[in-house]
Amino acid sequence: MKTRRSFLKASIATALLPMPAFAQGQPRVLVVGGGFAGATCARELKRLMPDARVMMIETNATFTACPFSNGVVTGLRELRAQQFNYEALGSLGVSLVYLSARNIDPQARTVTVTDGTALPYDRLVLAPGVDFRWGSPAGYDEAASARMPHAWKAGEQTLLLRRQLESMEDGGLVVISAPPNPMRCPTGVYERASLIAFYLKARKPRSKLIILDAKDSFPKQRLFQAAWQQLYPGLLEWVPLSNDGKVVSVEPASNTLVTDFARHAAAVANVVPPQKAGAIAATAGVADRTGWCPIDPVTFESPLQKNIHVIGDAAISGAMAKSAFAANAQGKACAGAIAQLLAGQTPGSGKLINTCYSLVAPDYGISIVGVYQPVNGQYVDVEGAGGTSPLEAPRETRAAEANYAAAWFRTITAEVFG
Ligand SMILES: Cc1cc2nc3c(=O)[nH]c(=O)nc-3n(C[C@H](O)[C@H](O)[C@H](O)COP(=O)(O)OP(=O)(O)OC[C@H]3O[C@@H](n4cnc5c(N)ncnc54)[C@H](O)[C@@H]3O)c2cc1C
């Protein structure tokens, strides 16, 4: 694992773009999805092209953010601290449609929304986040998630998992099932396990937590494991794939998780299922056989459908993790590329940064930073840039990183939704 170095001053392609002049009338750009990727992109499109008609189609008028939602699960913060509206985006001139995109016709260049209206576009940005592969593990469907919450889309599921932890008796077994990659927020499961362990240690110290993992490694692993040994000895156990960690089926009626060789009867079962791009991506024909969306890393345009761009968790963006930080960076870069394309220019490639913070305890933060550039049609790590928090560090450093994490969340949500 790399150590932290001062990372490159990455140039984000959008920074110094001239205002484009359009050949024929005002271009029309639709954005589907108002999460970290889509809302960023819509805002940036309007900033770069004040004369363009920018419309954002989003199912929910209130956005509930996943980053920091593990704090809600463990009673450290309330769900309302995760919730944001789009009023500021509307006041900047982005047209807002609170409906779901139901169908996309790439030939006619229209998006049909749930009331039946077909909305035309010159360029379309899809930012639908993830959907779950229901039925994996066997027996885990939407109905099962009412008993064994995933809490991997923030909202009611987050509160359900919290209530289950609160009502569990001291001495209970909490089991988290972690899916294979690619997944939204590859470190989020381990942050969640850490904060649940923090809660159990303080409130229900005879309890135990097991992570059953479909993987043999995860980012910041040595940092997490060192912290677990120090903070939660005997309380938290990680069971990797090679040690029978993969959950193959669940039995919701008895809250049981089944692996190849064992059955785990849980008091609280948190099943994070395997994922794929949000369903509208497949409808639009921009998802490939993996269930995710290939992109040109310079423009984020789909190689499968012209004039459709995909950003955020739904996109295959190489070495970049599926994170809100990355989604925000991609939203800006994509807007810049679209502004240039619509002005008849050729977008140039830039570097993008991603930083992921994790809380191991409320005052104990660790992070990983990456810098990425397009090589052979995919984002790859810039060698020698980025890295993780140091393995050996005083508690003040960990406390400072916990503060940086909180500051990052305040800043990004103010930038995107403020
Ligand atoms: C527990 C947890 C912790 C996390 N912690 C962090 C963290 O600390 N740092 C970090 O950077 N990332 C974190 N993440 C990851 C982060 O939440 C995602 O990577 C990020 O939200 C991706 O942004 P997005 O815009 O692609 O998708 P989303 O934010 O999910 O937004 C997608 C939006 O599209 C809308 N939508 C979908 N389909 C349609 C449709 N057909 N029509 C209209 N609207 C539609 C949805 O309603 C949604 O609002 C965490 C995730 C989890 C689960």
Mutate to test the pocket of ligand 1, among 36, 89, 293 (most ligand atoms within 8 A of CB): 36
For 63, 71, 128, 343, the CA distances from 79, given in Å and listed in that order, are 11, 9, 21, 42
pLDDT at residue 14 is higher than 90? no
Task: Tell me the percentage of the chain whose pLDDT exceeds 70.
Answer: 94
Regarding beta strands 118-120 and 110-113, do their DSSP bridges make them parallel or antiparallel, or are they unpaired? antiparallel
Q: How many residues in total does the chain contain?
A: 418
Number of H helices, E strands in the chain: 9, 23
Q: Whose CA is nearest to atom 20 of ligand 1?
A: 324
Q: What is the pLDDT of residues 314-362, one digit of tens each?
A: 999 999 999 999 999 999 999 999 999 999 999 998 999 999 999 999 9
Give the per-residue pLDDT at 25: 78
Q: What is the pLDDT of residues 137-167, one digit of tens each?
A: 999 999 999 999 999 999 999 999 999 999 9
Query: pLDDT-based confidence at 21, cuts 50/70/90?
Result: low
Q: What is the pLDDT of residues 56-73, one digit of tens each?
A: 999 999 999 999 999 999
Give the C-alpha separation, 33 to 128, whole Å: 5
pLDDT at residue 23 is higher than 90? no
Give the C-alpha separation, 225 to 322, whole Å: 22
Tokens standing for residue 78: 């309330």
Q: What is the pLDDT of residues 102-123, one digit of tens each?
A: 999 999 999 999 999 999 999 9
Mutate to test the pocket of ligand 1, among 63, 185, 300, 417 (most ligand atoms within 8 A of CB): 185
Q: What is the pLDDT of residues 88-106, one digit of tens each?
A: 999 999 999 999 999 999 9
Contact of 30 with 104, CB cutoff 8 Å: no
Give the per-residue pLDDT at 20: 52
- Ligand 1 surroundings by CB, under 6 angstroms: 32-38, 57-60, 63, 66-67, 69-70, 100-101, 127-129, 152, 184-185, 188, 192, 278, 280, 312-313, 322-325, 327, 356-357
Give the per-residue pLDDT at 320: 97
- Look at 17-31, 43-57, 260-274, 372-386 and tell me which has the smallest mean pLDDT: 17-31
Tokens standing for residue 13: 């392609």
Give the per-residue pLDDT at 222: 98
Query: pLDDT-based confidence at 287, cuts 50/70/90?
Result: very high
Q: What is the pLDDT of residues 170-188, one digit of tens each?
A: 999 999 999 999 999 999 9
Provide mean pLDDT across the span 134-138. 98
Q: Whose CA is nearest to atom 4 of ligand 1?
A: 67
Provide mean pLDDT across the span 373-388. 95
Beta strand segments in 293-351, E: 308-310
Q: Whose CA is nearest to atom 41 of ligand 1?
A: 101
For 95, 165, 196, 200, 251, the CA distances from 169, given in Å and listed in that order, are 49, 9, 14, 10, 21
105 forms beta bridges with: 110
Kindly give, in sequence order, each residue whose CB lies less than 8 Å from that of residue 381, ignoring residues fewer than 6 positions away. Answer: 319, 370, 371, 372
Mutate to test the pocket of ligand 1, among 32, 41, 66, 79 (most ligand atoms within 8 A of CB): 66
For 4, 312, 336, 350, 405, the CA distances from 382, given in Å and listed in that order, are 13, 20, 22, 12, 23
The secondary structure element, H or E, covering residue 371 is strand 364-375
**Residue of 194, 159, 175 whose CA lies nearest to 78:** 159
For 221, 364, 375, 413, the CA distances from 35, given in Å and listed in that order, are 28, 27, 27, 10
**Residue of 307, 347, 346, 341 whose CA lies nearest to 23:** 341
Give the per-residue pLDDT at 305: 98
Q: What is the pLDDT of residues 213-238, one digit of tens each?
A: 999 999 999 999 999 999 999 999 99
Give the per-residue pLDDT at 24: 60
pLDDT at residue 13 is higher than 70? no
Give the C-alpha separation, 79 to 414, whole Å: 17
**Residue indicated by tokens 């991609």:** 330
- Distance (Å) from CA 175 to ligand 1 centroid: 24
